[in-house]
Amino acid sequence: MKIFKKSFLIALLFAFSVYSVKAQCEEFAQSECKSDLGNYLHDGNYNATTLTQGQHIELVKTFYSGLNHRIVVCATNELPDILFEVFDGDRNLIFSNKNEDYIMMWDFTVETSQQLIVSITVPISSDEKFAKSGCTAVLLGFSTGSIGE
């Protein structure tokens, strides 16, 4: 019985710490990243998590024709430049910030409503002894006006 209680407490503490870190990253996204959406309406989701150098995540999202869209990628200062790419459903590259000086925002429209894959990679820095980690967020916004309004 004592082993069960001890295991339960460890699991509970682990779950609480994971929830706490996720909540901190969502707070970071709200306070530091949301303003980058400008006049675009936020979709209401704070896609935020802690990433470590070398990690990669993907977010699949539906984008609608007739709307202008903005994707904002935001990360804590501890992390190096984030590689941010967008692919169509067939994994054809539509956008990459690699040749755009690692900009963290992209405004675009789609001709037809479709699901796109937003890919985020935190590169490994060869001059670092230990991998750094920090909050990374992807915020999505939309507008019915001209792009950039």
Express each pLDDT in 38-51 by its tens digit: 999 999 999 999 99
Q: What is the pLDDT of residue 145?
A: 72
The Cα angle at residue 82 between residues 76 and 88, in degrees rounded to 5: 130
Between CA 35 and CA 29 the distance in angstroms is: 9
Q: What is the pLDDT of residue 143?
A: 92
Beta-carbon count within 10 A of 92 CB: 7
All domains of the chain in start order, with CATH? 2-143 (2.60.120.380)
pTM of the model: 0.79
Stretches in the chain below the pLDDT threshold 50: 8-21
Q: What is the pLDDT of residue 17?
A: 38
Q: What is the pLDDT of residue 43?
A: 95
